[in-house]
Amino acid sequence: MAEATNRLEEMIQELEESGEYVVLRRIGSFREQEVPEGATLTRGAFLDVETTGLSAERDAIIELAIVPFDYDRATGDIIRVHDAFAELNDPGRPIPRPVTALTGITDEDVQGQSIDRDAMRSVLESVSLLIAHNASFDRPFLERFDSVFAEMPWACSIDDVDWAAEGLNANKLEYLAMALGYFYRAHRAADDCLAALTVLAEQLPNSGRSGLAKLLDSARRTTFRFQAIGAPFATKDILKARGYRWNPRERFWWKDVAEADRETEQAWLAENIYESKPAPQPLRFTAMERYSGRNPA
């Protein structure tokens, strides 16, 4: 077996050195790393949900996976990945055909199934940080499912890593995996979690740091959300050029800024959008509130 593996690696090296081929490796089990001397290990958990649709208010979870992992708090290196908690859930309604086509999960698969909340909470007891790939989607669903998810800090492997600065021009998980040399079966919750952890463990092309290290830097920051409520329609292009995003549900432009940029942004809004009148005060966000869809208390 070892001889066959070595031969495969030799073939891969030969192909890649030719400059004509790129070889992708299947994402399998995570290889445990040696714990550095003096390291402080922290437990995080990567999680993913598959759902009947996109609305946390109207749709329901059909699958939940939670994959705990231990990382070096100082360096962001992932040391070990633990077994996945993965369960199906009957949404009490037919699963839309496009969802079944995407995930492979059928009505028969989920019939009579429910997520064991006690077991789920037990997995989360020692976890200090939750991460999802598009946490703005997963967190609202999970907060509606169980209040424990509203009581924990969150991070996002899309928004908390500047993939473009690393020369990666898209943030879709399948693309990131392929760009870093991997492939996997997408759109099943546990597989997506392991793929994301594999991506976050990789040393990134430009910074030379791991994706998790970059994510932790962002997650630890306090940010301020400016909501340009009541901004004149004529200012929409100015706001867009400034980096503001449109909230179609509540119909206003918004932007998150670092704590150091708070006063500058407040002054810019007052001068350019509100005709020197006071701009609305921003909302303060930490990892406890970020991505939840709830405004901070």
* pLDDT tens, residue by residue, 7-45: 888 888 888 888 888 889 899 888 889 999 989 999 999
Contact call for residues 17 and 9 (beta carbons, < 8 A)? no
Residue 74 tokens read as 């100082």
Weakest-pLDDT range from 9-13, 98-102, 192-196, 222-226: 9-13
pLDDT value at residue 296: 63
Mean predicted confidence (pLDDT) in 114-130: 98
State residue 102 phi and psi, 5-degree precision. -75, -45
pLDDT of 5 higher than 70 = no
pLDDT value at residue 277: 83
pLDDT of 297 higher than 70 = no
Mean pLDDT score of the chain: 94
Residues in the chain: 297
- Among residues 224, 240, 241, 237, which one has the least CA distance to residue 279? 224
pTM: 0.90
Nearest 5°: CA angle at 210, between 256 and 50? 65
pLDDT value at residue 137: 96
pLDDT of 68 higher than 70 = yes
Residue 1 DSSP SS3: coil
Residue type, 72: D
pLDDT value at residue 115: 98
pLDDT value at residue 1: 61
Which pLDDT tens digit goes with each residue over 197-211?
999 999 999 999 999
pLDDT of 260 higher than 80 = yes
Domain boundaries, the chain: 31-170+186-219, 223-285
Mean predicted confidence (pLDDT) in 171-195: 94
pLDDT value at residue 9: 81
Which pLDDT tens digit goes with each residue over 124-175?
999 999 999 999 999 999 999 999 999 999 999 999 999 999 999 999 999 9
CATH 3.30.420.10 describes domain 31-170+186-219 = yes
Residue 170 tokens read as 């898209």
pLDDT of 4 higher than 80 = no
Mean predicted confidence (pLDDT) in 236-253: 95
pLDDT value at residue 295: 62
Contact call for residues 150 and 173 (beta carbons, < 8 A)? no
Mean predicted confidence (pLDDT) in 228-233: 95
Residue 146 tokens read as 């169980």
Which pLDDT tens digit goes with each residue over 73-91?
999 999 999 999 999 999 9
CA–centroid distance for 228 within its chain: 26
pLDDT value at residue 191: 95
Q: Give me the sign of the Cα torsion angle 88, 89, 90, 94.
A: negative
